[in-house]
Amino acid sequence: MSQEQRAVERARKAFCTGRTKPLQYRIDQLKNLQRFIVERQKEIADALKKDLNKSEFGTPLYETMGLEGEISLAVSKLAEWAAPRPATKNLLTVSDEVYIQPEPLGVVLIIGAWNYPWAVTLQPLIGAIAAGNAAVIKPSEVCVHTSKVMGALLPLYIDKEVYPVVTGGVQETQELLQHRFDYIFYTGNCTVGKVIMEAAAKHLTPVTLELGGKSPCYIDKNCDITIACRRIAWGKYTNCGQTCIAPDYILCDPSIQDRIIEEIKKSVKEFYTEDPKTCSDYGRIINKRHFKRVMTLLEDSTIAMGGQNDESECYIAPTVLRDVKPGAKVMQEEIFGPVLPILCIGNVDEAIDFINQREKPLALYIFSSDNKLIKHMITETSSGGVLANDCLVHFSVSSLPFGGVGNSGMGSYHGKFSFDQLSHLRGCLIKQLKMEGMNKMRYPPHTAKKLSWARFFILNQVELSKLGRWALFALLAVVVAVILQRYFAD
Amino acid sequence: MESQRQIIERLRAAFQSGVTAPLQFRLTQLKSLLSLLEDNEPQILEALQKDLAKPKFEAVLSEIDMVVNDLCYTINSLPTWIQPSYVGKNLATKLDDCFVRREPLGVVLIIGAWNYPLQLILAPLIGAIAAGNCAILKPSEISRATERLLAQLIPKYLSQECFAVICGGAEETKSLLENRFDHIFYTGSQAVARSILQAAAVHLTPVTLELGGKCPCLIYGRLDMLAAAKRLVWSKFFNAGQSCVAPDYVLCTPEMREELLPAIAKALSIFYGSQPKQSEDFSRIVTDRHWDRLMALLGKTQGRVVMGGEGSKEDKYFAPTVVVDLDGSDALMQEEIFGPIMPILTIESLEQGITFINQREKPLALYVFSDESQVVNMVLERTSSGGFCSNDGIVHMTLPGLPFGGVGASGMGSYHGRWTFETFSHRRGCMLRGWGLERISMLRYPPYTESNLSWLRWATSAKKKSWGVCSVM
C-alpha cells in the first residue's frame, strides 16, 4: 500500500470514529496548531530562508501572523459558527423547527502552493479543522525544506491520523487524486486547477480553486502618487513578486509614467538599499525554471529600472518596464516575479475596457482620490476582490471572502467563509406527528376547495422571526380555528 | 435559425452591455415570469398532464405554486439582497470601507429534469435573473410537452436578448457543454453529472449539481402510526414516486412493520381508492423505458410483493407497490427507485438502521418518523444527508429559507430563495483604504526591524480579543 493510500484510509477511518465532531476536540487541535507556529517559529523561518530567501521578519509578517489571527478567530467563534442557524418558516411550519445545521464533510484534501507555503497550506487547514473534517495535507514539493519541516513536525502537534501530511511531487499528487475525497482545496495555477477539477469530477467531489491571473493596478492622475507608489512597490516586490495577488501590471495616463517610475525607484531604495542583492529583506526566485521564465518576459520591453540578475542565486532585481505594449511577452501570462510593466492608456474607461477584455483577475487595484471613479471602476469590472489605494492587505481581513471568479478560481475562504466552505449546511425541518388535521388539505382525493386552501397556506410567506411572540400566537390561533372549522364543515 | 454558438455569443454581448445589471431590469423580468405562470396555467397543466399525467393538484402545488412562491419571495427581497454588505470593522480599519458585493457571473446554463419539468428549470432561473445574469435554459427532452411550451413562452415573456431556450437531446447537450459558461446548474443523474463536471473543468466553470440517491426513511420508537403512514404514503407516491426527495425505502423493526403495513394500506385506500388506476389523483410513469425499468426491478427482487405490483404499459400505469422481506443486496436496493415501489427492510435496532444508512452514499434527503425526540436527534447527529425532515416527507424543500441541495454523491451546491441568488452571484470582497495613517503603514515596509514587527504584533494581538481580525497593515 502506498503512503498516499495509507494516509487517506487512516484519515477516513479516524473521521468515521466521530472524534472530530465534538467542538472541544477541534478547539484543542486548533490550539495545538497555534502552539506549533509559536514554538517552531525558528524551524519554519529557517526552511523559508532556504526555500525562498525569506527574511527573518518576513516569516511572521507574511506567513504566520495571519495564521495566528485566523486560529484565534476560529477558536473564539467556533461555537457560534457550528450552532444551528434558524431559517424562515411559512404558515404551515409555524409550530415546527426550521434550521440549518452545519456538518463536517469528511476527508478534505488540501494542496498547498510554494509561494507562501505555510499561509496557503495551513489556512485552509484551519477551516477544515474548525468544520470538523479530517484533512490530508499535501504541501508543495517545490518548497523542499518547508515540506520536510511540515512533514516532520506538524504530526507532533496535531492528530497525525486525522491530519496526515503527505509529501512528494506530481506523481504523489496524482496518486492522491485517484482516491475519493469529500472536498479538495487547491491553491496554485489554472493549468493544474483544471486537472484537479477533472480528477474531482470522477468522484463528484466539490472543489475550491484559489488560482491567479494578472491583477491589474490602475493609477489615476488624481491621487497621492508618492504613497501609491510606495504601497505598490511593497505589494509588488514582497516575496520577489511571487504573490497570487501581487499587482501584476500598471495602467496609467502617459503624463504620470515618469513620476511613477521615479517614486517606485525611491521606494525600492528605501526598502532594499541601492543594492537589493545584498539586502536580507529582499527575496529570491524559487528556482531556476521560474528564473528563466521571468527573464524571458523582459525580452521585448524597455527596462526603466532594474533588470540586473544572477542565475546562480536566482536573483532578479526589482524591475520596472515602461511603455509596454499589450502584445508584449510580459503581458501574456501572470508574471509572478519582480517585474512591473507600465502600460499607458488614455482614461479610466479605456482601462476598464482593457481589463474587461482579459480574464477576470484575482485582485483589482485602484489608486485614486476620487471615490466616484473608484466606485465606477468597481461597478464596470469583475474580479475576485478589490482593493483601493493599497495592495495585498485585503487578504488579511477575515470578514472579507477571499477567492477568485472565472479563471482566477472558484469558492472562497478566510474567517467564517473557511468554515462554511468546508461544511455541509444541512437544511432541517423537525415536525411532530400531531396537527394531522392540517395535512388533510394536501392528501388525495383532491378537491377544488382543498386546493384553494393549500394554495393560501403555501403562497403566504411570513417573516415569522420578525413578528412578536404575541402576534405569532394570535396568528396560530386564527389559523387553527379556521382549519378546524373547514375540517368539520367537510 | 441560430446555432448554439450564435445564441451564446448574443447573450454574452447582451450581458457585457450591462443591460441585466440594474435592479429594475431584474425585477421587470421576474414579474414577467410571474405573468407567464399566471397567464398560462391551463396550458401548463395540460402539458404536465401529457408528460406525466400529473394530477391538477400536484401540478399546481409542486410546479406552479412552488415557483410563484419563490418568485414573490425573491421579488420582495431582491432590493435587500442586492445591497453590499458591510463587514465588521475594528480599530485598525475604522477609516476603511470593507464590504462584500454580490455581482453577476455572466452567462449561465440551466439544465432541467423531466420529473418536475417546470419547477426544476424555472426555480434556478429565478436566482439567475435576480443575480443579474443572462441564462440559457435546456429543458429535459423527455418531458416533451413542457419542453415545447417553455420554448414557446419564454421568448414571449422574457427579454430575448438575455434569455434563450435551447432544446434537444444528449447530442445537443454535449455540444452545448463544449462552450464556456460562467456557471452550470444541472438537475439529474450522477452519471450525467460526471460528464458535466468534466466539461466544466475545461473552462474552470463552477457548477451546481442537484442529483439524487436513495433517500432512507427510518420509522422507530413510539409514534402515531396512521399519521406517519399517511405522510409516508403521500410523499412516496406523489408524482408516482418520481421525486428526487421521495422516501426511497423504509427501515423499521419487524414489530413496527406489522403495524405499518395495514396503516399504509389504509392510507392508500383513502388517497386513491381501491383502484388507483381509476383515481385521477395518481400519476403515471414518464416513458415506456422508465416503466420497463421499474417492472424489471420488480421482476428481479428477492422480496415479497404485499401490495400492488401490477401495471399496464399502454398508459404507463404502475400500481402503488410495497415489497417486504428483502435485504440490502436486493435488486431494489442497488439504484434509486424513482417510482411507486416501496421496499420495507427490517432492522433489529436503531443502531443497526443508522449503520445501514451510513454504509451507503449520502442521500439527498433523510427521513425519520418518531414521536421520540431522542430518536430523531440521534439519527440527525449520526448521519449525513442533503436535507433532513422528521415526521414528514418532501415538504422541507418547499421552505425558501432552507438551502436545498445534496452532499457527496447526492450533489454539490444548493438553492431556493436567497440561496439561488447566492449560487448565481460572485461575492466580491472590497476594501477601500484612505491615504492617511501612512505612519502606521510604515511599520510593515522594509527594512524590517524587530521593533516594527513587535508593534505590528501588538496591534494585531489586540484584535484577537475583539470580533473579526484585521492586521493593521
HEC secondary structure over B156-167: HHCCCCCEEECC
Does A455 contact chain B (CB < 8 Å)? yes
The helix (run of H) or strand (run of E) holding residue B386 is none
Does A255 contact chain B (CB < 8 Å)? no
Q: What angle do CA A198, A200, A204 make, to 5 degrees?
A: 115
Q: Which residues of B touch A208 (CB under 8 A)?
A: none
Cβ contact, residue pair A61, B388, below 8 Å: no
Does A192 contact chain B (CB < 8 Å)? no
Q: Could you tell me the three cell numbers for B53?
A: 399525467
DSSP class of residue B397 equals: G
Alpha helices in B282-331 (DSSP H): 288-300
Q: Could you tell me the three cell numbers for B265?
A: 394500506
Q: Which residues contact B377 (CB under 8 A, 6 or more apart)?
A: none
CA gap B309, B340 in Å, rounded:
9
CA gap B262, A19 in Å, rounded:
42
Burial of A169 by CB count in 10 Å (0-12 exposed, 13-18 middle, 19+ buried)?
Answer: exposed
CA gap A105, A237 in Å, rounded:
39
Phi-psi region of A213 (alpha: psi -120 to 50; beta: other; left: phi over 0): left
Q: What angle do CA A159, A164, A168 make, to 5 degrees?
A: 155
- For cell 461575492, what's the residue? B427
Read off the pTM: 0.94
Beta bridge partners of B135: B108, B163
- For cell 450525467, what's the residue? B192
Q: Quick count: other Cβ atoms within 10 Å of Cβ B143?
A: 28
Cβ contact, residue pair B395, A87, below 8 Å: no
CA gap A234, A397 in Å, rounded:
18
CA gap B334, B318 in Å, rounded:
20
Burial of B74 by CB count in 10 Å (0-12 exposed, 13-18 middle, 19+ buried)?
Answer: buried
Instruction: Please report, as a single letter, which amino acid is at residue A33.
Output: L
DSSP class of residue A62 equals: I
Kindly give the interhelix angle for A23-39 and A65-82, rounded to the nearest 10 degrees: 170
Q: Strands B97-104 and B425-432, how do they pair? A: antiparallel
Q: Which residues of A touch B206 (CB under 8 A)?
A: 410-411
Q: Do the beta carbons of residue B150 and residue B81 sit within 8 Å?
A: no
Active site members of B: 210, 244
Nearest to B216 by CA among B393, B339, B382: B393
Q: Which residues contact B180 (CB under 8 A, 6 or more apart)?
A: B203, B205
Q: Could you tell me the three cell numbers for A121?
A: 497550506
CA gap A338, A238 in Å, rounded:
8
Establish whether A80 is a catalytic residue: no
Residue B472 pLDDT: 38
Does A454 contact chain B (CB < 8 Å)? yes
Catalytic one of A4, A63, A210, A263: A210
Q: Quick count: other Cβ atoms within 10 Å of Cβ A357?
A: 8
Q: Which residues of A touch B230 (CB under 8 A)?
A: 436, 439, 443
Using alpha carbons, list the distances in angstroms from residue A456 to A89, A392, A452, A462, A479: 15, 53, 6, 12, 11
Nearest CA in chain A to B450: A57
DSSP string, A376-445: HHHHH---SEEEESSSSGGGG-TTS-B---GGGEE--BSHHHHHHHTEEEEEEEE--S--HHHHGGGSSS
Integer-rounded Cα Rg, in Å, for chain B is 26
Cβ contact, residue pair A431, B434, below 8 Å: no
Q: Which residues of B touch A61 (CB under 8 A)?
A: 444, 448, 453, 456
Whether this model's ipTM surpasses 0.90 comes out as yes
Q: Do the beta carbons of residue A113 and residue A140 sit within 8 Å?
A: yes
CA gap B422, B414 in Å, rounded:
9
Residue A462 pLDDT: 47
The 3-state DSSP class for residue A186 equals strand
Could you read off the pLDDT tens digit of each residue along chain A, which spans 490 residues? 899 999 999 999 999 999 999 999 999 999 999 999 999 999 999 999 998 888 888 777 788 988 999 999 999 999 999 999 999 877 777 778 999 999 999 999 999 999 999 999 999 999 999 999 999 999 999 999 999 999 999 999 999 999 999 999 999 999 999 999 999 999 999 999 999 999 999 999 999 999 999 999 999 999 999 999 999 999 999 999 999 999 999 999 999 999 999 999 999 999 999 999 999 999 999 999 999 999 999 999 999 999 999 999 999 999 999 999 999 999 999 999 999 999 999 999 999 999 999 999 999 999 999 999 999 999 999 999 999 999 999 998 999 999 999 999 999 999 999 999 999 999 999 999 887 777 788 888 888 888 887 777 766 554 444 555 556 666 676 677 666 666 655 4
Residue to substitute from A208, A443, A447, A452, interface B, most B β-carbons within 10 A: A443
Beta bridge partners of A210: A187, A409
Cβ contact, residue pair A204, B408, below 8 Å: yes
Q: Which residues of A touch B468 (CB under 8 A)?
A: 73, 397-399, 415
Q: Which of residues 50-79 of A touch B (CB under 8 A)?
A: 55-58, 60-61, 65-66, 69-70, 72-73, 76-77
CA gap B39, B60 in Å, rounded:
14
DSSP class of residue B302 equals: S
**Could you tell me how many residues make up chain B?**
473
CA gap A103, A83 in Å, rounded:
10
The 3-state DSSP class for residue B262 equals helix
Q: Which of residues 283-342 of A touch B (CB under 8 A)?
A: none
Q: Which residues contact A412 (CB under 8 A, 6 or more apart)?
A: A208, A384, A401, A402, A403, A421, B427, B429
The 3-state DSSP class for residue B130 equals helix
CA gap A141, B234 in Å, rounded:
56
Could you read off the pLDDT tens digit of each residue along chain B, which spans 473 residues? 789 999 999 999 999 999 999 999 999 999 999 999 999 999 999 999 999 999 998 999 899 999 999 999 999 999 999 999 998 765 556 668 899 999 999 999 999 999 999 999 999 999 999 999 999 999 999 999 999 999 999 999 999 999 999 999 999 999 999 999 999 999 999 999 999 999 999 999 999 999 999 999 999 999 999 999 999 999 999 999 999 999 999 999 999 999 999 999 999 999 999 999 999 999 999 999 999 999 999 999 999 999 999 999 999 999 999 999 999 999 999 999 999 999 999 999 999 999 999 999 999 999 999 999 999 999 999 999 999 999 999 999 989 899 999 999 999 999 999 999 999 999 999 999 988 777 777 888 888 888 888 877 776 664 444 434 444 33
Establish whether A333 is a catalytic residue: no
Beta bridge partners of B429: A385, B100
Q: Which residues of B touch A209 (CB under 8 A)?
A: 204
- For cell 422480496, what's the residue? B303
Beta bridge partners of A420: none
CA gap A338, A52 in Å, rounded:
13
DSSP string, A101-112: EEEE-SEEEEE-
CA gap A293, A274 in Å, rounded:
25
Phi-psi region of B16 (alpha: psi -120 to 50; beta: other; left: phi over 0): alpha
Q: Could you tell me the three cell numbers for A374?
A: 473608484
What pLDDT, in 10s, does the model give residues A319-368? 999 999 999 999 999 999 999 999 999 999 999 999 999 999 999 999 99
Cα torsion B261, B263, B266, B270: sign: negative
Q: What angle do CA B137, B143, B144 make, to 5 degrees?
A: 85
Cβ contact, residue pair B182, A209, below 8 Å: no
Nearest to B170 by CA among B149, B188, B155, B184: B188
Rounded to a whole number of angstroms, the distance from the CA of B302 to the nearest CA of chain A is 30
Cβ contact, residue pair B471, A446, below 8 Å: no
Residue A56 pLDDT: 80
Q: Do the beta carbons of residue B260 and residue B344 sit within 8 Å?
A: yes
Instruction: Please report, as a single letter, which amino acid is at residue B397.
Output: M
Residue to substitute from B16, B45, B57, interface A, most A β-carbons within 10 A: B57
Cβ contact, residue pair B427, A401, below 8 Å: yes
CA gap A421, B254 in Å, rounded:
42
Q: Do the beta carbons of residue A155 and residue A164 sit within 8 Å?
A: yes
